[in-house]
Amino acid sequence: MNTRLLFFLLIICPLSAVCQTFTSSNLPILVIDTRGGTILDDPKIVADLRIIDNGPGKRNNLTDKASFTSVMGIEYRGATSQQFFPKKPYGIELRDSTGINSVAKSVLGMPAESDWVLNATYNDKTLIRETLTYDFYRKMSKYYASRFRYCELVLNGEYRGIYIVMERLKRDKNRVPITSIKKTDITGDAVTGGYILKIDKTVGSTSRSWKSPYPSGPRNINLDIQIDRPKPEDLAEEQFQYIKKYVSDFEASLAGSDFRDPTKGFRAFVDEQSFIDYLILTEVCKNVDGYRLSAYFYKERDSKGGKITMGPIWDYNLTYGNADYCEGNSYMGWAFNFSRVCPKDDFVLPFWWDRLLLDLDFARKVKEKYKALRQTVLTPERLGAFVDSTSSALTESRQRNFVKWPVIGTYVWPNGFVGRTYEAETDYLKTWIGQRLTWMDINIESFGVLTALREEAAFTLGPNPSIGDVTLKLPLPTPTDVSLSLTDMQGRALQTRHWPAQPKGLFERTLPATDFNTGPGVYILTISTQTGPTSRVIVRE
């Protein structure tokens, strides 16, 4: 143990806080030394990693012999978090002694791989939302979710607080279980699989992408579909063209009139159950970024199943009411309505989810699985027990973490709630979960019934054509949110409105003539409820 390093480790003195010492922990301790180098966003710099982990129930001291050592590469990761937050997330790659070649190793009992993530969990003051979500998904679904371990980090002699060691999303038999496609795999079955794709921000991304030919959201945005793996330098042109065509064919099938057909429709292209599970998870935690950011999906070779699988899941710090924009802190409303609630946001949901929910069989399966989960792993008691047990395990380490990063009682973007104590934060989380599930129990009942078809037949506008105000009438068989968007024929959004939690009965509203502010012509009015959108043409004379 470097005595100079130990000296610096003993004292934690953040600004405006009382100094404390750090010599041991009930969590594993990660000690990283960058050899005097400065960590960058890219590329990774060479560093040394030591992990002190004496096993379950045993204390870990900084002076103990390391249970794991490795040379590694380290870099910043994340978009918003690395740019705006002082507590940075990191990506690490385990390497051999030369510091050049990656090597797969088991870390903290997780299956061997070379690439890992150190999640800073800065703006979630419970420190639990990410792990709660991965734990729940692993219990509710057969699909992969990243494994994790909490630790405390010391970087270049400085205590950095609690981090979550997580598996990076990667093709591997223990991670995303698909074939690792080679650049020479350009024909036959070999070209058909091994792809991980995503819908996400493109800033800072090295992914190759294309624009979806099918507009999404009230502003008819053609969103970017990115290839996460293979990396651009490992991607043959034939592979790019293959997966672009496959995803575009899926979108065409979903947008087409036969989208419900079991052989011609979307089911010919996708693993339906993965989409059901992804939707349920996203709605339970009401992920404000759900469907539209960090939204991964993958495709294996045709000989091994070969359909688009939704997932793996990723990035859940802005969930369970931890976002103060676009109704992210409300336990009411569907996450798949984000683009109607916030029509000016540039990151829109793909049109997929509205369309899928118009398939009554798909919607019915969502409801049936949700209701089955409510009898087993999806209860406030079970989720609350995870929160309580995790917060208990973090008792001493979180106290050090919040001395280093004094965020308790302080707003950190985009907190939907600011508690004066850590206990207030976890109480809010548990209360929000209970309220969310109660709301979903009521509002999911209309999934999979003929509501959408009855609404489409009953949705009336008058007068149409018109020169003045226009009145719309829509019978609501069950309570639901109602959203409205009005666009002109160029796709420009003119008006958007949202009415949460509308009661059963006749929904009636008047659109004033001033809404049609581009003059005479043709307009598109779209009304959306929890069963999906329905559109009508309005002619202005």
| pLDDT digit string, tens, across residues 150-174 | 999 999 999 999 999 999 999 999 9
pLDDT, tens digit, 9 for 90 and up, residues 169-222:
999 999 999 999 999 999 999 999 999 999 999 876 678 999 999 988 888 899
Categorize the per-residue pLDDT at 8 as very low, low, confident or very high, splitting at 50, 70 and 90. Answer: very low
What CATH code is assigned to 451-540? 2.60.40.2550
Q: In this predicted structure, what is the pLDDT of residue 3?
A: 39
What percent of the chain has pLDDT above 70?
Answer: 93
Alpha-helix residue ranges (DSSP H) falling in 358-416: 360-373, 380-393, 395-404
Note the pLDDT tens digit of each residue in 301-318: 999 999 999 999 999 999
What is the reported pLDDT for 84? 83
Burial label for 252, CB within 10 Å (0-12, 13-18, 19+), is middle
CA distances from 25 to 6, 54, 394 (A): 15, 11, 10
- Which amino acid type is present at position 495? Q
Pairing label, strands 158-167, 493-502: unpaired
Look up residue 58 and give its two tokens.
Answer: 């045993």
Distances (CA, A) of 225 to 204, 210, 237, 240: 15, 6, 16, 12
Is the CB of residue 425 less than 8 Å from the CB of residue 409? no
**By percentage, how much of the chain surpasses pLDDT 90?**
73
- The Cα–Cα gap between 456 and 516 comes to 23
Q: Please name the helix (run of DSSP H) or strand (run of DSSP E) that holds residue 352, with its range, or none.
A: helix 352-357
User: Looking at residue 449, what is its pLDDT?
Assistant: 65
Between strands 195-199 and 208-211, the pairing is unpaired
CATH 2.60.40.2550 in the chain, residue ranges: 451-540
pLDDT digits (tens, 9 = 90+) for 11-31: 566 554 456 789 999 999 999
Kindly report the number of other CB atoms within 10 A of residue 463's CB atom: 13
Residues 135-152 have pLDDT tens digits of 999 999 999 999 999 999
